[in-house]
Chains A and B, each alone.
Chain A
């Protein structure tokens, strides 16, 4: 269920503006990789190129290659829609569909694609996905209530359940806890720990404690100044990044002397 990601010399543009320059890295299957760095350094932009979500913004384009198990995402023949079914995404703010119940939200990825699914299969999928997102016990009695009635942390776990219901290979998380309180954050972090048994997880976070708690490897992005492109400064084991980084900028950032 999980795949290896390889990025080679990736440049990301918005129109003529070069937002991220020359990123190369490899992400191992069944691991958690954290992207850290100051605001505006391009880590979220880079994350969105891993499932071609950046194309939603008009004028965005990419040079270079992103290989998932050796297949280039940016091959001209590739359909971005199919890419996104393999590489799921969880957003900064929980965004359950307001017109759907909890159950329909979990099934959204299947139902929205016009796929037929038998009732028992659907029930199984709802239960397993919600179990997988540690939400089943809290919502099993109100599956037909609107998803927007849940608390922020529950909504975010509902979004994770929705993402894993389409059985992706990789899950990208774009600051999934930044809109949540500390207790909900802890629940999500525990969940990430469990999910990594089955999925490749990439998480963008502003919280360095969170990066050091949940990730196996950490990538530090930085930007030379406004208007300059963001760059990958250092990519290593999380313990190395936080205890013995090889770059001065990384050390300044993780020790709080910067950003």
Chain B
């Protein structure tokens, strides 16, 4: 019976006695790890020799060559021992894992770079000074942080009511052509390039205040255009998760529809909606292009949304990079420090959003 169990194309070591016929024609369990270790050693040795002749040791090269050696060796080895079908399987496994590791390279490289360069100027002065009258070293991003908070906050104030009420309309009231039309338009809005939102806000406010005006409120409107569809989408999804039974229970108690929505549906889904809104804020807080167009940039503090240009963190990063003065290191350090601040804000928002979703979601008694 052993011959029928072993795949026919196996050219395994037939002479060797096999204790369990089901393991015949298969590479031993640790084989892939051993091949991987061998590949890394070979590759490191190769680059070590190159490094010995003067060049710097190339980590990326080592990694790439090790991966290539591994893929080739494991496929060949498997083809000899296990046959072509399993060889293909191992080949694809290596490729798929490799794709994941490849995507980790930019993430890790980015994190290391932002933290190492960002910490150079991640100090008290950075968070307590603006760039007014600063040339060269010193100065800070307080005006940009204030601008980001003001504009993102205003954008949230505009888009949360509109987005939430729209999702309520779509879930609780929407029937027929208007609802289908709005769903379609929300889709279209999701696809608006961020710079187009900036152009729109600029053109809109150019009508009232004349061409060339750049204000905080214009920036906020641009961000709101980008934020509304995200809020609608996530809130809609959360509202649809609320069981119909709960709405019916409220109706059966003689509760009008709007009170049912306000007091039963919204409280039940509030955790999910909060998460969605925080993720939406995290998405727009890093937007650069629309603010560059609609709110411009400045070196001074500005608390007035309706008057004068307003700086923001992402635009600060860009302007510090783009308009380097003397010494350029001071400008680049400030850019990286602002980038680090921005990433930290986005990460905290993401993290808190997920914690809210996990801990405050209601438990349906099922």
Contacts and interface: CB of A to CB of B under 8 A. Distances in A.
| Chains A and B in contact, CB within 8 Å | yes
Interface of A: 51, 53, 56, 58, 81-86, 88-89, 91, 93-99, 108-109, 111-114, 146-150, 155, 159, 162-163, 166
Contacts of B251: 53, 56, 81, 84
Contacts of B246: 95, 97-98
B274 to A, nearest CB: 14
Interface string B77-105: 00000000000000000000000000000
A81 B255 contact: yes
B38 to A, nearest CB: 56
A109 B365 contact: no
B365 A112 contact: no
B256 interface: yes
B123 to A, nearest CB: 45
Given A91-B248, A95-B249, A159-B249, A109 B255 contact: yes
A51 B246 CA distance: 17
Interface in B213-253: 243, 245-253
A98 B365 contact: yes
Contacts of B328: none
Nearest to A59: B175
B267 interface: yes
Contacts of A95: 243, 245-246, 248-249
A163 B362 CA distance: 22
10 contacts: A51-B252, A53-B251, A81-B251, A88-B253, A94-B365, A95-B249, A96-B365, A97-B249, A109-B255, A149-B365
Contacts of B186: none
B363 interface: yes
A108 B252 CA distance: 11
Interface string B246-281: 111111111111011001100110000000000000
Main secondary structure of the interface of B (DSSP, over half): helix
A81 B259 CA distance: 11
Contacts of A56: 247-248, 251
B252 A112 contact: no
B253 A85 contact: yes
A91 B246 CA distance: 10
B364 interface: yes
Interface string B355-366: 000000011110
Given A82-B254, A91-B245, A97-B246, A112 B362 contact: no
B312 to A, nearest CB: 37
A56 B246 CA distance: 12
Contacts of A96: 249, 365
A259 to B, nearest CB: 26
B364 A112 contact: no
Nearest to A155: B365
A112 B249 contact: no
A85 B250 CA distance: 10
Nearest to B361: A98
A211 to B, nearest CB: 22
A85 to B, nearest CB: 3
Contact of A58 (B175, B264, B363): B175
B264 A112 contact: yes
A163 B253 contact: yes
Contact of A91 (B249, B257, B363): B249
A253 B245 CA distance: 30
Contacts of B268: 97-99
A189 to B, nearest CB: 21
Closest 5 CB pairs of A and B: A85-B254, A148-B365, A89-B252, A109-B253, A98-B362
